[in-house]
Amino acid sequence: MSISNSSLNIAARGSAITALGESEFDILVIGGGINGVGIALDAASRGLSVALVESGDFASGTSSKSSKLIHGGLRYLEQYDFRLVREALYERELMVTTLSPHLVKPVSFLYPLHEKLIERTYVGAGMALYDALRGFKRALPWHKHLTQKKVSEIAPSLRLDVITGGFQYFDAQVDDARHTMSIARTAAKYGAVITTRTRCEEVIKNGKRVVGAKIRDLISDEVIEVRAKATIMASGVWSDQLHEKFGLKAGYSVRMSKGSHIVVPKSAINSQSGVIIKTDLSVLFIIPWGEQWIVGTTDTDYQESKEEPLASSDDVSYIINQANRVLEPKLRRDQVIGVFAGLRPLVSTDPDSPTTKLSREHVVDSPTPGFVSIAGGKYTTYRVMAEDAVDEAVNHLRRIVPDSTTENLAIIGAEGYSVLINKIPKLATEYGLAEDTIRHLLDRYGSLFDELLAPAKDDSTLLEPLIEGLPYIKAEALYAITHEAALSIDDLLSRRTRIAFEASDSGLSITSYLGELLGKYAGLEKKEIAKSINEYEQIILRQRKNLERAIQIESKVS
């Protein structure tokens, strides 16, 4: 199998669009979220010919709006879902050590206790089981029992009048959108044809058998007939809608659960660790994120628009009220600098069951020959889900295909990362950058960081900050266009970087600069640049109005 260039840019897109119409593929993947790109990588690494189509941008739906955690799911122990927890913990370790150590990082959490004996015994048994399910060869530390004094030292913001002690344990976190895009690039490296802004209009059938799909290029408006021996749909919350559109009856339905989060400044909470709080409904995480905290999540049934789910006033109230059970000083609504919400695609057979009780297991279904769909699951177990989906699709290929290889297949940027981390002082001197900037780049691009910095040899302005107060440099915006398939202002600010919710102005001050880069390196015309800027401004306006509404409504009630 030849190794291809992993770069996804406007030229690569043109070649991919041509290939869609000219080639017959073993596997066509519909959907560019974490499951879709995982499937493309699994199939391509088995030597299969693969095409992936995504109507928007990579991770533009659920996969960019998670809690940014790679975890076993401590709360699933109470549901006795030991197999899922064990599986997720195994995948967590793989990502931290082998698959994506530059992107997936250990993060500690405090679990505060409110009672001295019974609760410590009960929770301690759960923590021990959580660790034991991973096994004894592990990259992350074992949990620790903490006294009230030690809890206070680690997290001065926790209320000692209600907390008697606690536990410290470790999971991991990730920039979900960057991780998803990096897997897409890795799939391209192993030969997958990857496209965004390509929408599946209908499947093509020969009798009952699906033999491909009609794909609309949303940039040129051309409709392309893509031939494939098997089609795998990984469309998350859009699964039911697309099954109906394609005239297929699936063996499952998808319930949407909304997970909302708020973002507050680092100064709002004094803690050296994340915090997990058990609630009556689920758990709440206080998650460190650069110079902010992400606090969430909710788990509520959702039946509104899938396109742009918004956090409601009730969501914000719930998150703040639950966090304030253990925080002093308490979080205030005027400290909230951003909110975001994502939709979990939960597999359901009982329309009356609350979403908090629905399993996070995934389901692979084949409603007709040549067609496979997958739904449910957790972000953490994407690799297992991808393997299961491809295994099912292989049954439709009528030939022997190698088993999955992804358990030991590192994604781009992982190779040599640990060595580069040890050389940060030397690299800082070599490139004339601060050590913190080098670490930031290594933790986002791994061993590809020198590729990112190459254009700066001729243009030193690319080493300048992209926006004041955040670690991104201008070279990252350029690289997102020339190597990471960014085609709009929203791609650049919402997913290639997270400036949309990290900067006080959401990056509006740099849209003209980014527009110039898109014009020069992605070939956008002036009208297209203006449209892209306006679309992003409208997104931010809607988000700000929603945030203001959530805060104002609550203020009137209180």
Under DSSP, the state recorded for 495 is: I
Q: What is the pLDDT of residues 243-268, one digit of tens each?
A: 999 999 998 899 899 999 999 999 99
Query: Residue 126 above 50 pLDDT?
Result: yes
Residue 133 is predicted with a pLDDT of 85
CA 231 to chain centre: 23
Q: How many residues does the chain have?
A: 558
Tokens 């699906």 belong to which residue?
A: 210
CA 242 to chain centre: 22
Task: Give the CA distances from residue 204 to residues 18, 40, 200, 522, in Å, rounded to whole numbers and listed in that order.
Answer: 19, 20, 11, 32
Q: Do 50 and 397 form a contact (C-beta atoms < 8 A)?
A: no
2 CB-contact burial (10 Å; exposed 0-12 / middle 13-18 / buried 19+) = exposed
Query: CATH homologous superfamily for 417-549?
Result: Alpha-glycerophosphate oxidase, cap domain (1.10.8.870)
Residue 360 is predicted with a pLDDT of 63
Q: What percent of the chain has pLDDT over 70?
A: 96
Rounded Cα distance, 112 and 450, in Å = 43
Rounded Cα distance, 242 and 252, in Å = 13
The CATH 3.30.9.10 portion of the chain extends over 64-173+255-356
Q: Do 41 and 409 form a contact (C-beta atoms < 8 A)?
A: yes
Q: What is the pLDDT of residues 466-476, one digit of tens each?
A: 999 999 999 99
Comparing C-alpha atoms, which of 471, 421, 467, 422 is closest to residue 446?
421
Q: What is the pLDDT of residues 353-381, one digit of tens each?
A: 443 444 568 899 999 999 999 999 899 99
Query: Residue 338 above 90 pLDDT?
Result: no
Query: Residue 389 above 70 pLDDT?
Result: yes
Task: Give the CA distances from residue 163 to residues 111, 126, 303, in Å, rounded to whole numbers and listed in that order.
Answer: 10, 19, 38
Task: Give the CA distances from residue 465 to residues 403, 427, 460, in Å, rounded to whole numbers and listed in that order.
Answer: 45, 18, 11
Rounded Cα distance, 174 and 287, in Å = 11
Under DSSP, the state recorded for 267 is: G
Rounded Cα distance, 391 and 235, in Å = 18
- The domain made up of 64-173+255-356 has a fold known as D-Amino Acid Oxidase; Chain A, domain 2 (3.30.9)
Rounded average pLDDT over 205-225: 97
The CATH 3.50.50.60 portion of the chain extends over 10-59+177-252+360-408
Does the pTM of the predicted model rise above 0.75? Answer: yes
Rounded average pLDDT over 74-100: 88
Q: What percent of the chain has pLDDT over 90?
A: 78
Q: Do 375 and 362 form a contact (C-beta atoms < 8 A)?
A: yes
Q: What is the pLDDT of residues 94-114, one digit of tens each?
A: 999 999 999 999 999 999 999
Query: What residues contact 494, with CB distance under 8 A and at least 6 apart?
Result: 64, 177, 500, 539
The β-bridge relationship of strands 253-265 and 292-296 is antiparallel
Residue 12 is predicted with a pLDDT of 95
| Mean pLDDT lowest among 7-16, 61-70, 91-100, 548-557 | 548-557
Structure token pair of residue 196: 């965004």
Rounded average pLDDT over 160-165: 94
Query: Residue 430 above 90 pLDDT?
Result: yes
The β-bridge relationship of strands 274-278 and 338-348 is unpaired
Rounded average pLDDT over 406-419: 96
Query: CATH homologous superfamily for 10-59+177-252+360-408?
Result: FAD/NAD(P)-binding domain (3.50.50.60)
Comparing C-alpha atoms, which of 161, 180, 205, 144 is closest to residue 412?
180
Give 351-419 as a DSSP string.
Answer: TTS-GGGS---EEEEEEETTEEEEEE--GGGHHHHHHHHHHHHHTTTTS--PPP-GGG-PPTT-TTHHH
| Mean pLDDT lowest among 132-146, 201-215, 352-366, 434-448 | 352-366
Q: Report helix, strand or coil for 418.
A: helix
212, β-bridge pairs? 204, 227
Residue 1 is predicted with a pLDDT of 47
